């Protein structure tokens, strides 16, 4: 029987998982050139066409289920210049934001309370949840510098800085962070910071929302892969990250929608938490 010479397959070495540090990671696929600044506003066609591009190598962690771009280079991404990420002009996005705000207000009794948002850009969501619940809000983030002509309500202020433990004294009944965590090459740094800022406040609710990596793969939503997202969380990797940072998960929900939610009522004493899909109407918790 003749022997068959199989072609050699070049399988690159994969780095440890950026969530759990496990060495058991495997490459999934590669994209040779993605725009490094997906939602930067370019002022000419020529500038847009010459936008820097970079390689993506989606990698899967067999330990925690995380997906990440093993070629990600943080130096190629700039959030502080001509970065425009507001989607509130879309009626569909606005409706979603309003429904989410109303649900958070009703679920966690957020009327006349203090809301902290991390990385909320121009504060579109913060304005809604503060307006609907008559709350006070503070947004942290380096990308938005309020201009005098900007119409900013009196109950909202902006801190042009990253949210760190030095702001732990800022009053908060809810810390909300939507579509930020997936931008971190070292996501544990952000959750560690939040963990330190939470301290021993038992009545504090934390809400994180990220794209659902499981759904992206299952539905083959490959337009969701952008260079500014080094991370694509699954339910298991999100739970692993929060657990490693001192949070505790007691309930979980495998979502049918595109987003995940995590709640944590505080540090000290019995800890509990929940995840649920905010687009899945069932809202069932396992």
* Least distance CB 189 / Zn ion (angstroms): 16
* Least distance CB 133 / Zn ion (angstroms): 37
Tell me which H or E stretch contains 58: strand 53-61
Tell me which H or E stretch contains 198: helix 187-198
Residue 3 tokens read as 């022997």
Query: Which of 36, 54, 58, 64 is the binder for Zn ion (CB under 5 A)?
Result: 64
Q: Is 17 in the site for Zn ion (CB under 5 A)?
A: yes
Within 116-135, the residues that bind Zn ion by CB under 5 A are none
The number of residues that bind Zn ion (CB under 5 A) is: 8
- Of 25 and 136, which CB lies nearer to Zn ion in the complex structure? 25
Stretch that binds Zn ion, among 10-18, 67-75, 99-107, 261-269 (CB under 5 A): 10-18
- Of 135 and 249, which CB lies nearer to Zn ion in the complex structure? 249
CA atoms within 13 A on the CB side of 150: 14
Q: Is 63 in the site for Zn ion (CB under 5 A)?
A: yes
* Least distance CB 201 / Zn ion (angstroms): 29
User: Measuring CA to CA, how many Å separate 232 from each of 12, 258, 270?
Assistant: 20, 11, 30
Stretch that binds Zn ion, among 62-70, 77-85, 142-150, 176-184 (CB under 5 A): 62-70
CB 178 within 8 A of CB 9: no
- Of 87 and 243, which CB lies nearer to Zn ion in the complex structure? 243
Query: Which of 54, 60, 66, 77 is the binder for Zn ion (CB under 5 A)?
Result: 66
Judging by beta carbons within 10 Å of its beta carbon (0-12, 13-18, 19+), is residue 79 exposed, middle or buried? middle
Listing DSSP states for 127-164 in one string gives HHHHHHHT-EEEEE-SS----TTS---TTEEEE-S---
- Of 126 and 235, which CB lies nearer to Zn ion in the complex structure? 235
Q: Is 61 in the site for Zn ion (CB under 5 A)?
A: yes
- Of 59 and 136, which CB lies nearer to Zn ion in the complex structure? 59
In the block, residue with structure tokens 């939040």: 194
* Least distance CB 63 / Zn ion (angstroms): 5
Q: CA 32, CA 77: separation in Å to the nearest integer?
A: 17
* Chain contacts with Zn ion (rule: CB under 5 A): 17, 19-20, 22, 61, 63-64, 66
């Amino acid at each position: 029987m003749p022997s068959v010479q199989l072609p050699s397959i070049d399988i690159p070495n994969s780095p440890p998982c950026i969530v759990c540090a496990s060495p058991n990671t495997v490459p999934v696929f590669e994209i040779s050139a993605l725009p490094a600044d997906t939602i930067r506003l370019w002022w000419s066609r020529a500038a847009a066409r010459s936008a820097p591009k970079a390689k993506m190598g989606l990698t899967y962690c067999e330990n925690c289920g995380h997906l990440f771009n093993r070629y990600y280079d943080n130096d190629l991404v700039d959030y502080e210049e001509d970065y425009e990420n507001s989607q509130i002009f879309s009626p569909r996005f606005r409706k979603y934001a309003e429904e989410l705000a109303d649900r958070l207000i009703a679920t966690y009794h957020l009327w006349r309370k203090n809301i902290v948002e991390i990385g909320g850009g121009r504060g579109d969501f913060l304005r809604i949840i503060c307006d609907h619940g008559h709350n006070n809000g503070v947004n942290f983030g380096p990308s938005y510098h309020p201009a005098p002509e900007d119409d900013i309500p009196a109950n909202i202020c902006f801190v042009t800085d990253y949210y760190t433990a030095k702001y732990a004294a800022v009053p908060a009944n809810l810390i909300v962070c939507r579509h930020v965590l997936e931008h971190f090459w070292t996501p544990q740094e952000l959750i560690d910071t939040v963990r330190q800022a939470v301290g021993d406040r038992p009545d504090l609710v934390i809400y994180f929302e990220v794209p659902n990596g499981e759904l992206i793969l299952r539905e083959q939503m490959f337009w969701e892969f952008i260079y500014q997202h080094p991370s694509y969380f699954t339910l298991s990797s999100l739970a692993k990250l929060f657990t490693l940072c001192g949070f505790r998960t007691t309930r979980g929900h495998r979502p049918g929608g595109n987003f995940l939610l995590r709640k944590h009522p505080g540090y000290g004493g019995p800890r509990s938490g929940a995840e649920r899909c905010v687009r899945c109407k069932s809202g069932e918790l396992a």
